[in-house]
Structures are given as structure tokens and as C-alpha cells.
Amino acid sequence: MTGFVSFVSSGPGDPELLTLKAVDRLARADAVLFDDLSSGPILAHARDGADLIGVGKRAGRPSPKQDHVSKLLVEYAQTGQRVVRLKSGDSGIFGRLEEEVVALRAAGIAFEIIPGVTSASAAAAAAGIPLTRRLTARRVQFVTGHDVTGELPEGLDLRALADAGATTVVYMGKRTFAGLVTRLVAAGLPADTPALLAEAVSTEDQRLTRTTITDLAARLSLSDSTAPGLILYGPLADG
């Protein structure tokens, strides 16, 4: 008998930001494969006796390979269990969701995707700002700050990313932001464009830093912080 997989988006870390559907699936799961940022108090919603398997990936740390995670997910479901794949933020945004969906489809395993609060929305809310504004910030764009090698991705659309009228959110970009800013300024983005660094959003360790893109680039070049974070820049980032 083949099981069923629920991709559950856990939000940025605060368990109160879980959806009712997410809580229900956790409470009924036989096994939960969770990311590092989805652990802690969120796992308290899993039922007693459920298998809890950490498969998270963190920059600069030893992590399970994606093909291993996908294989593990398939194997658990093939035993007939109800499986939750718990992903931080919203699983559809830089969460490697597609690789795991492809593996399940190839194995003939049914699944569902439960959306959640993405870190970008949570960071803006914590900072007391919107992501859009009429006339001055008509567009929001999300970009990843590193590729599979951990470096700044090649082929970035610098014209779009240097749009001073957009709110841009950089996921997983603390280590590569200095290099990105060099390219952005060369592409025409003003060096004093407001920037917001949001670390450990919605947790007790949350820290918000408001500055400019060039100042933030300089700070991050000297920082060894391992706190999860994302960067917002554009007309609204100064609050």
C-alpha cells in the first residue's frame, strides 16, 4: 500500500504562523522529514510516536544531499505511511520543492502542497513595512543569493535587480551580497538604496538591521554570523 505525502510549509519559525491545515497534517503524520529551520517548537505539533527525521540544509554545514532526501521521502511513503515533508517559509519559494515532487511522481506517490508564510512577508511585517506601494514600489521580486555551489548565481537579470522602483528580496544572500551590490551599483542602482537585513525572523532571536546596500555589503563582508537571514532592498526598506 502506497502512502501519501503532505508538503507542509512551516512559515519563518513562529509556530503561531502555521496554518490550520499544516497543524492538522502534522498531528496525523506517521513520519515527519523536517528542515533545520522547521524544527524546535513547530515539531511539538507532531503526534506522539511519529518518526522525526532531520534532513535540513544549512549553508556552510554538512547537509544531506538532495537526491538522498528525495529517496528517503519516497521510501517512507512506499511503506504506506502518512508522511509530512516539513519545509521552512513557503515550500514553493527556494525550497527545492520541485526535485522532491518529481521523485514522488516518478514513484507514483500522491501528494499535496500546503502553502505557508514566506520569510519575505514575515520580515516586512516585523519591520512594519509593506512590500508594495503605489507609484514607488509597484513590483516585488524574489531572488536567491547563491547557486548549488554556494556562489552568486550566474545569469542574473541585473537590469531587473537594479530597478530602483521595485522591492527586491534576496534569500540566502548574506555571504554573496557584497558581490551582488558591486554588480547592482554598476548596473545603475544608487549606492544609498535602503536595505533591510532580517535575521531569525519571527523567533526570539530576531534581529532587524536598517541601512543602505553599500553599508550592508561592507558589514556582511566582515560578519561571521550564521543566523538565517534575508535581505530586502528598495524604496520601502528604510521603513
CATH number at residue 42: 3.40.1010.10
pLDDT for 41-56, tens place per residue?
999 999 999 999 999 7
Q: Are residues 16 and 109 in the same domain?
A: yes
Q: Are residues 155 and 102 in the same domain?
A: no
Nearest to 107 by CA among 2, 14, 205: 2
> Residue 157 falls within a domain, yes or no?
yes
Per-residue confidence band for 136, with pLDDT thresholds at 50, 70 and 90? confident
Position 168 pLDDT exceeds 80: yes
Domain extent, residue 158, equals 119-233
Q: Are residues 126 and 110 in the same domain?
A: no
Position 94 pLDDT exceeds 70: yes
**Residues with Cβ < 8 Å from 17, sequence gap 6 or more?**
11, 116, 117, 122, 202
**Mean pLDDT, rounded, of the chain:** 93
Arithmetic mean of pLDDT, 160-187: 96
* Count of the separate structural domains present in the chain: 2
> Residue 217 falls within a domain, yes or no?
yes
Q: What is the pLDDT of residue 40?
A: 85
Name the catalytic one among 57, 71, 215, 238. Answer: 57
Name the catalytic one among 35, 90, 163, 174. Answer: 35
Position 57 pLDDT exceeds 70: no
**123 is written with which cell numbers?**
520580515
Q: Which of 85, 114, 143 is the last residue of a domain?
A: 114
Q: Are residues 16 and 94 in the same domain?
A: yes
Q: Are residues 59 and 123 in the same domain?
A: no
E-strand stretches of the chain:
4-9, 31-34, 51-54, 82-87, 110-114, 139-144, 166-171, 194-199, 207-212, 229-233
Pairing of strands 229-233, 166-171: antiparallel
> Residue 239 falls within a domain, yes or no?
no
Q: Are residues 132 and 104 in the same domain?
A: no
Exposed / middle / buried, residue 128 (Cβ in 10 Å: 0-12, 13-18, 19+): exposed
Arithmetic mean of pLDDT, 188-192: 97
Q: Are residues 110 and 9 in the same domain?
A: yes
Q: What is the pLDDT of residue 59?
A: 52
Contact in structure between 91 and 9 (CB atoms under 8 Å):
yes
Give percent of the chain above pLDDT 90.
80
In the annotation, is 57 catalytic? yes
> Residue 238 falls within a domain, yes or no?
no
CATH number at residue 220: 3.30.950.10
pLDDT for 196-228, tens place per residue?
999 999 999 999 999 999 999 999 999 888 888
Q: Are residues 228 and 130 in the same domain?
A: yes
Q: Which of 75, 99, 114 is the last residue of a domain?
A: 114
Q: What is the pLDDT of residue 149?
A: 79
Per-residue confidence band for 1, with pLDDT thresholds at 50, 70 and 90? low
> Residue 228 falls within a domain, yes or no?
yes
In the annotation, is 71 catalytic? no
